[in-house]
Amino acid sequence: MSTAGEKISVPPRLAKKFSVDKRYDVPCLDIRRTNRQGLTGWRAVNLIEQEAPHA
C-alpha cells in the first residue's frame, strides 16, 4: 500500500485477503511509527470496508 508516494506496511493478518501479484486501492486506517531500527514509516492497523454501489 502507499499514500502520497510513501509505502504503507501491511501486517500479515490484514494482507491475507489480497493476492501478492496484484495492486489494490483500499482505504485504511494507518499510523506513522518508528520501528526498533529507528526507521519511521506508515503501518496499516485496519482496513476500511466499502459498501458495494447500489444499482
Q: Are 9 and 43 in contact (CB under 8 A)?
A: yes
What is the reported pLDDT for 8? 85
Q: What is the largest CA-CA distance in the chain?
A: 49
Q: Where are the domains of the chain?
A: 2-47
Q: What is the mean pLDDT of the chain?
A: 83
Per-residue pLDDT reduced to its tens digit, 15-39:
888 888 888 888 899 999 998 999 9
For residues 34 and 39, what is the distance between their CA atoms, to the nearest angstrom?
5
Grid cell in block for residue 10: 501491511
- pTM of the model as a whole: 0.64
Residue, of 52 and 36, whose pLDDT is higher: 36
The residue behind cell 518508528 is 34
Tell me: pLDDT of 5 over 70: no
